[in-house]
């Protein structure tokens, strides 16, 4: 086991994927010589060459369009969108081409593309650099959506995403890049007997009174809330896969606890929390002892960095929702 940051774990996962498969190519703005603005690809161009780790022009639609062409020719491109708010110029390419080409070609064309997106707030960034656009892509049939929450998950799931035959939108919680954790690099991410299924939710803390479902940057926040809670035993479930959603694991947890709070940074209206709440209500209606509650960002444009702490769900808001669930 090695202690490393999530950023380093992603770098190690990308390195291992490139060593294992010569078809894996990296493409994005400043990812080569600079190693990316968050240094996720640091050192990879030096070790694998400019023909496999390529700097792209500042044109997100062109980056994803190039990835489509590479995938058609049998490569496995991994593209980086430098910041979450920059993905929108590529939105048409992703939802109209990447998501649909496999079905449109009746299975003849695979789109093994990974679109890496640093997402979420908490770093004091300027406008367009702190967004949570995951619901757009989870809503789009033909795309898989993953979001790791710790270094070990990042190390494994980035390799599993690259090996997937379907296109994967891979949301990396940017404020957790520097969080440290133990990583076992000896685990073979592609061996199901060694590595967990990336499309399954993970119970990261056991509890008996309330289930708290979350993903990406909110997992650490919810674990801190579970530790701080004096009145309720909180079970924390990391959804991890946002599309497909693993409702089975979550439902099993809710059937034990009888209560569910869903937490995410994105705005509440029509967010992932609304879908989770609806499906758990349908599935676990007779097991629920309280309505499903949501703790989310507000339905406003992302605020200036000096006041983002008022926008982002924090420990107090999570604990307040847990207390309200326990009152029923």
Q: Which residues are designated catalytic?
A: 129
DSSP assignment letter at 98: I
Q: Considering only CA atoms, which of 169, 166, 174, 164 is closest in space to residue 135?
A: 169
DSSP track, 119-167: E---S---TTSS---HHHHHTSTT-EEE---SHHHHHHHHHHHHH-SS-
Distance CA 19, CA 44 (A): 11
Distance CA 4, CA 8 (A): 6
- Residue labelled with tokens 């949570």: 132
Distance CA 38, CA 41 (A): 8
Residue 154 tokens, joined: 């990042």
Contacts for 204 with CB less than 8 Å, ≥ 6 apart: 149, 219, 223, 236, 237, 238
Distance CA 151, CA 182 (A): 7
């Amino acid at each position: 086991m090695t202690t490393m940051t999530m950023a380093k774990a992603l770098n190690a996962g990308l390195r291992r994927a490139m060593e294992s498969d010569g078809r894996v190519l990296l493409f994005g703005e400043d990812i080569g010589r600079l190693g990316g603005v968050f240094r996720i690809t640091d050192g990879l161009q030096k070790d694998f060459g400019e023909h496999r780790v390529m700097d792209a022009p500042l044109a997100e639609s062109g980056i994803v369009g190039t990835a489509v062409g590479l995938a058609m020719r049998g490569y496995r491109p991994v593209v980086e969108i430098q910041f979450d708010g920059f993905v929108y110029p590529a939105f048409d390419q992703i939802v109209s081409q990447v998501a649909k080409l496999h079905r449109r070609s009746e299975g003849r064309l695979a789109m093994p593309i990974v679109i890496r997106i640093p997402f979420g707030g908490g770093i004091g960034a300027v406008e367009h650099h702190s967004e949570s656009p995951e619901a757009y892509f989870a809503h789009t049939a033909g795309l898989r959506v993953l979001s790791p929450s710790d270094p070990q998950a990042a190390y494994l799931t980035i390799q599993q995403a690259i090996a997937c035959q379907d296109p994967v939108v891979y949301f990396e919680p940017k404020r957790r890049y520097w969080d440290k954790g133990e990583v076992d690099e000896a685990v073979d991410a592609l061996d199901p007997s060694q590595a967990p299924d990336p499309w399954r939710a993970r119970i990261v803390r056991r509890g008996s009174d309330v289930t708290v479902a979350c993903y990406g940057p909110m997992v650490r926040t919810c674990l801190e809330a579970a530790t701080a809670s004096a009145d309720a035993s909180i079970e924390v479930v990391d959804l991890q896969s946002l599309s497909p959603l693993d409702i089975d694991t979550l439902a099993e947890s809710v059937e034990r606890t009888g209560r569910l709070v869903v937490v995410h940074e994105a705005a509440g209206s029509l967010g992932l929390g609304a879908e989770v709440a609806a499906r758990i209500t349908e599935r676990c209606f007779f097991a629920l002892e309280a309505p499903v509650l949501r703790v989310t960002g507000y339905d406003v444009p992302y605020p200036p960095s000096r006041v983002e702490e008022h926008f982002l769900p924090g420990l107090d808001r999570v604990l307040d929702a847990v207390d309200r669930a326990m009152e029923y």
